[in-house]
């Protein structure tokens, strides 16, 4: 008997302005946007996302809208960048929906501690 013990993550759809979307694990939204370095979290979560349906040019165009001086020639780095950006934007959307910063932070801290 061959059992797959890899945990299936619940996801949320991120809709990019460049007319593509992808599923991002809820845990990534809780884990990536935080103070300090989040490189380790982004490194972990980007590998859980299927970017195969997004062209290199669409991904680079989406990232170029951020107004940074990133070198957008590295596909893997671009996938990490969009993971980080999507997690921040989705968390901000949830924060706006709750409309109470203090409550929002307590809810996310609780969920992150419970899930992660």
Which pTM does this prediction carry?
Answer: 0.78
Residue 102 covered by a domain: yes
pLDDT band at 85 (very low <50, low <70, confident <90, very high): very high
Residue 4 covered by a domain: no
Which residue range is the domain that position 94 belongs to?
Answer: 12-115
Q: Could you give the number of structural domains in the chain?
A: 1
Residue 100 covered by a domain: yes
Q: Please choose, from the candidates 21, 18, 28, 32, the residue with its C-alpha nearest in 3D space to the C-alpha of residue 64.
A: 18
Residue 66 covered by a domain: yes
Helix (H, G, I), strand (E, B), or coil: what is residue 116? coil
- Please say if the pLDDT value at position 18 is more than 90: no
């Amino acid at each position: 008997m061959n059992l797959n013990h890899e945990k299936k993550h619940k996801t949320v759809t991120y809709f990019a302005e460049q007319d593509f979307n992808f599923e991002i694990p809820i845990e990534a939204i809780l884990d990536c946007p935080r103070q300090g370095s989040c490189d380790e979290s982004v490194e972990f979560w980007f590998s859980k996302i299927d970017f195969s349906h997004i062209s290199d040019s669409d991904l680079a165009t989406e990232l170029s809208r951020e107004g940074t001086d990133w070198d957008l020639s590295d596909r893997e780095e671009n996938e990490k960048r969009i993971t980080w950006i999507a997690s921040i934007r989705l968390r901000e959307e949830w924060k706006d929906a709750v409309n109470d910063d203090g409550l929002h932070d307590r809810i996310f801290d609780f969920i992150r501690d419970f899930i992660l």
